[in-house]
Amino acid sequence: MAASDAIAALMGGNAVVQKPDTQTALTALWSLELMREAGLPSRVWQMVVGRGSSIGGALMDNADYMMFTGSTASGRTIARDAGRRLIGASLELGGKNAMLVLDDADIEKAADGAIAACFPSAGQLCVSIERLYVAESVHDRFVAACVARAQRLKVGGSYDFSCDVGSLTTPAQLQTVTEHVDDAVAKGATILAGATARPDLGPLFYEPTILADVTPDMTLYEHETFGPVVSIYPVRDDSEAIARANATPYGLNAGVWSRDGARGRTVAARLHAGTVSVNEAFAAAWGGVDAPMGGMGDSGLGRRHGAEGILKYTEAQTVAHQRIQGFTPPARIAPETWAALLTGALRVLRTIGSR
């Protein structure tokens, strides 16, 4: 994201000052280094590293446009400050993303898709799935398939492909995940997989976790966990699945699994989410070159990628060059006559244009 947002702004004709997330600054700095090696002038894309609470004000006070990815609370502050300065802003914020498994879904493929959607980067992706709504007729088979796959995932900190799930990023994030799971279990949630920290592997590891019997009084029911935790809910039919998936102030990403592509797309169109993938986790919607990506509701405003992702960094300007005769009547022609002449001329031009 650090590279794609900045490069889109550069393509729109801008210079960029970027503050990367302090957890992932090296990735952004490496992208900048590669761009400079490719010939980008050094001052066109500049990087400042630090906490938003320390340097965010200076960035906002001097920017012509603000692109932000982060929490909904911070996004509201940025939107307020952008409104005060009358500058544009694009905000990709939090989410409580849902995946729907319809009664005609290929269960094995849907289970693979759920694992791919819930646990990459230890669930620390803005588009990760945290809620699974499964048709009652296939619920038990799907749950069994998901649990078996989750239990086979290898948790570890290697730098190769030998591990499936890595570490959380900060002690605060581990605390959030632990508190969400412990709160749910204390209030009656059923542990189907995981729900255990792994200090034997490192200070911030947590097992891929699947919970059932999650109820509205539990914190993780509607609040974003941003970790390797997902809850599963049985639903009677498509309408209930859609209603429950939409029963959130967020609207970032969602998924639908069905053997019937037209049915999947119909359900997808009814979901309150900026991106919805049918029979896929999120890569198709995220990686499509022409596909705009962003959130609805508390998940933000504006879009990245596609034409919208570049045009948002530009200002539309009209330059009208009137040739020959203007719209005001010449001195010797009465206004009524001039109006009739203009109307007739416009009809002729419309006829010529249609042909």
Residues composing the chain: 355
Catalytic (active site) residue 163: no
Torsion of CA 117, 123, 126, 130, to 10 degrees: 60
Q: How many CB atoms lie within 10 A of CB 246?
A: 16
Question: Residue 215 CA to chain centroid, in angstroms?
Answer: 25
Task: Single out the catalytic residue among 126, 130, 207, 224.
Answer: 126
216, two tokens: 């509205």
125, two tokens: 């992706």
First to last CA, the chain: 47
34, two tokens: 């590669």
Q: How many CB atoms lie within 10 A of CB 253?
A: 30
Task: Single out the catalytic residue among 92, 130, 207, 224.
Answer: 92
Q: What is the DSSP letter of 13?
A: T
Closest CA to 284 of 71, 135, 113: 113
- The alpha carbons of the chain give a radius of gyration, in whole angstroms, of 26
List alpha helices for the chain, DSSP H: 2-11, 25-37, 52-62, 72-85, 107-118, 136-152, 171-186, 238-246, 261-269, 283-287, 306-311, 335-354
What is the sign, positive or negative, of the torsion defined by CA atoms of 159, 160, 163, 166? positive
Catalytic (active site) residue 92: yes
Q: Active-site positions?
A: 92, 126
